[in-house]
């Protein structure tokens, strides 16, 4: 029972203490909400629930909070304006002024990731952004749309992104190869960075939570959970920020491919 997902050291502990149980990965299981075992394409699952809660959170934060349209904003409206200004400025500064039409897309991604990350920090919750399937789709969407935008705006000239005219001529083919590889690695690093960060943090918290069952090390374990939880709060925001800013960087490459 306890030998699902832990290393040899944990097994030893389990043998010694008897009650030590680790299930750090169980929190990531996708379950149908209304009974049944099979997870079909349209089954309402915990994924549905927590994504819907993220939508509700975004609605509350950006729509309900601004319903008063106050000139002098209240607290919640200030947060909405802050989020708006933060992402808008990021798009403008990183991707350039002509990237502002794409601001709603970046905002959508950022708000979804940041809300999902923070909702995932609630005890007993399900972190949708810890799944590679979710982050990979978002990263691929960014990758494909950026590539399409690049070709639509510059035609074949978009390929000059890979031909670094500032470099000496003999180096250019080699650099072009490196640039092309790095370009195609982008969606992979983009998605794994987010999912890996979220998954690792949550799994570590669960491992320390397992240790909390042992009276002797429980205080250390609870302290460690607290510390890692604080770190995870930071990571939740930073990973959403990183995802959004990388989207802007890729967008900049598509809009201004010439180095």
Partner 1 sequence: MATETDSHGAAEAASVCVDSHGGAIGMPQLCGDWMGNQIFWLIVTLVVIFLILSRVALPRIAAILAERQGTITNDLAEAENLKARAVEAEEAYNQALADARSEALRIAAEAKAEIQGELNDAIEKADAEIGARAAESEKAIAEIRAGALESIREVATDTATEIVGALGGTADADAVTGAVQSRMKG
Residues in contact with partner 1 by CB under 8 A are 1, 3-7, 23-26, 28-30, 37-43, 45, 47-48, 51-52, 54-55, 58-59, 62-63, 66, 69-71, 73, 77, 80-81, 84-85, 103-105, 107-109, 111-112, 128, 130-134, 137-138, 195, 199-200, 203
Question: In sequence order, what DSSP letters do the residues of the chain get, joined into one string?
Answer: ---SS--HHHHHHHHHHS-----TTGGG---BTTS-S---SS--BHHHHHHHHHHHHHIIIIIITTTT--SS--HHHHHHHHHHHHHHHHIIIII-GGGGGGHHHHHHHHHHHHHHHHHHTSTT---GGGSHHHHHHHHHHHHHHHHHHHHHHHGGGGGGGTS-TTS-GGGHHHHHHHHHHHHHHHHHHHHHHHHHHHHHHHHHHHHHHHHTTSTTTHHHHHHHHHHHHHHHHHHHHHHHHHHHHHHHHHHHHHH----
Instruction: Please identify, using beta-carbon distances, which residue of 105 and 183 lies nearer to partner 1.
Output: 105
At closest approach, how far in Å is the CB of 147 from partner 1?
19
By the 10 Å C-beta count (0-12 exposed, 13-18 middle, 19+ buried), 90 is classed as buried
Instruction: Please identify, using beta-carbon distances, which residue of 3 and 98 lies nearer to partner 1.
Output: 3
Instruction: Please identify, using beta-carbon distances, which residue of 146 and 161 lies nearer to partner 1.
Output: 146
Instruction: Please identify, using beta-carbon distances, which residue of 132 and 159 lies nearer to partner 1.
Output: 132
Which is it for the CA torsion 45, 46, 49, 52, positive or negative?
Answer: negative
At closest approach, how far in Å is the CB of 94 from partner 1?
18
Angle (CA) 55 59 60, round 5°: 120
Instruction: Please identify, using beta-carbon distances, which residue of 176 and 188 lies nearer to partner 1.
Output: 188
Instruction: Please identify, using beta-carbon distances, which residue of 232 and 257 lies nearer to partner 1.
Output: 232
On whether the CB atoms of residues 57 and 156 are closer than 8 A, the answer is no
On whether the CB atoms of residues 240 and 117 are closer than 8 A, the answer is yes
Instruction: Please identify, using beta-carbon distances, which residue of 161 and 246 lies nearer to partner 1.
Output: 246
């Amino acid at each position: 029972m306890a030998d699902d997902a832990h290393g040899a050291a944990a097994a030893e502990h389990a043998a010694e203490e008897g009650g030590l149980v680790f299930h750090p990965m169980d929190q990531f299981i996708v379950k149908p909400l209304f009974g049944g075992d099979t997870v079909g394409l349209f089954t309402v699952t915990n994924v549905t629930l927590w994504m819907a809660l993220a939508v509700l959170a975004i609605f509350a934060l950006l729509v309900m909070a601004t319903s008063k349209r106050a000139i002098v904003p209240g607290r919640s409206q200030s947060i909405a304006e802050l989020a708006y200004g933060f992402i808008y400025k990021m798009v403008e500064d990183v991707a350039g002024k002509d990237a502002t039409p794409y601001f709603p897309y970046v905002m959508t991604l950022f708000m979804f990731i940041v809300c999902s990350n923070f909702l995932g920090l609630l005890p007993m919750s399900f972190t949708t952004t810890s799944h590679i399937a979710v982050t990979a789709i978002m990263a691929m969407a960014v990758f494909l749309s950026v590539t399409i935008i690049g070709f639509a705006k510059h035609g074949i000239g978009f390929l000059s992104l890979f031909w670094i005219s500032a470099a000496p001529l003999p180096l250019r083919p080699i650099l072009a190869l490196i640039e092309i590889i790095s370009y195609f690695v982008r969606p992979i690093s983009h998605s794994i960075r987010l999912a890996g960060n979220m998954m690792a943090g949550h799994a570590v918290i669960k491992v320390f939570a397992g240790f909390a069952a042992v009276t002797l090390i429980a205080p250390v374990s609870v302290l460690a959970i607290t510390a890692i939880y604080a770190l995870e709060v930071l990571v939740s925001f930073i990973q959403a920020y990183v995802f959004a800013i990388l989207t802007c960087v890729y967008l900049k490459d598509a809009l201004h491919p010439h180095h």
